Amino acid sequence: MDSVKWRAEHYIVNRDSAYADPRLGLKKLQGGNKRFIEGKSIKPRQNYETIKKLENGQAPFAIIVGCSDSRVPNEMIFDQGLGDLFIIRTAGQVSAAASYGSMEFAVLKLKTKLIVVLGHTECGAVAAAVERPENVPGHIVTLINDIKPAAVKSSHMHGDPVNNAVRQNVIDQVNSLRDLDPILHKKYVDGEILIVGAVYDIHTGKVEFLPETLVNLPKAKK
């Protein structure tokens, strides 16, 4: 099989292009997830040669703000390799000062132009916010309190209340990051970065990029 046909059949997007253009970065993630669910994973950049290349620095093409759930291994579900993804994970992908600073570091220092907020179905942290248990121990309550607004906002929707809240939580987090001063908001409205949301289905392995976060995007800065 010639290389052009192989690249087409495996949804390959050039890595350097994905780093330079966040819209191509998004396509690269979508293609990687297609490979993953179709059993075509190529496991790129997962070798000693790549380790040596990365000794002098990193240039990830996407920032993934995701949940800590062990069933959602980011590099695997997007079929990416060493140095490709800058990953920030907390339960319910709840962000606070340290997470914000990490994103700003990647955007300013590493020049990463794509941020993806990644939730997943049947998220335990979101389920807790929906169920609103009493006497929650330790710092777990801070996670629940951050997710509660999404649970309340989605409570009128038809369907599974937890998965509805998962989607709403992602949408709310995307909007929050787009408005985050002083760095991300300006970069976003100026078209220098993209911030979008997605949900991973733990039953199928498929990542759905939420349409609500893909509309009215700022024009890319030339």
Task: Give per-residue pLDDT as tens, 190-213.
Answer: 999 999 999 999 999 999 999 999
If pLDDT is split at 50, 70 and 90, which confidence band does 6 have? confident
User: What pLDDT was estimated at residue 8?
Assistant: 76
Q: Convert the pLDDT of each residue in 51-93 to its tens digit.
A: 999 999 999 999 999 999 999 999 999 999 999 999 999 999 9
pLDDT of residue 5: 79
67 or 1: which leads in pLDDT: 67
Instruction: Confirm whether residue 185 is marked as ligand binding.
Output: no
pLDDT at 222 > cutoff 70: no
Across residues 95-116, what is the average pLDDT? 97
For 107, the enclosing helix (H) or strand (E) is helix 97-108
Architecture of domain 4-213: 3-Layer(aba) Sandwich (3.40)
Question: Whole-angstrom Cα distance, residue 184 to residue 5?
Answer: 38
Whether 37 has a pLDDT exceeding 80, the answer reads yes
Q: How many percent of the chain have pLDDT more than 70?
A: 99
The candidate with the shortest Cα–Cα distance to 76, out of 46, 117, 107, is: 46
Largest CA distance in the chain: 62
Tokens of 92: 């319910």
Cβ atoms within 10 Å, residue 88: 19
Ranges 7-11, 122-126, 147-151: which has the least confidence: 7-11
pLDDT at 220 over 90: no
Which whole number is the average pLDDT over 119-142?
A: 91
Query: Which residue type is seen at 38?
Result: E
Structure pTM? 0.95
What distance lies between CA 115 and its chain's CA centroid?
6
Reading the block at residue 123, the tokens are 């998220």
120 marked as binding residue:
yes
Look-up of token digits 């807790």: 128
2 pLDDT band (50/70/90 cuts)?
A: confident
pLDDT at residue 171 greater than cutoff 80: yes
67 is in an annotated binding site: yes
Does the pLDDT of residue 158 top 90, yes or no? yes
Binding site annotation covers 16? no
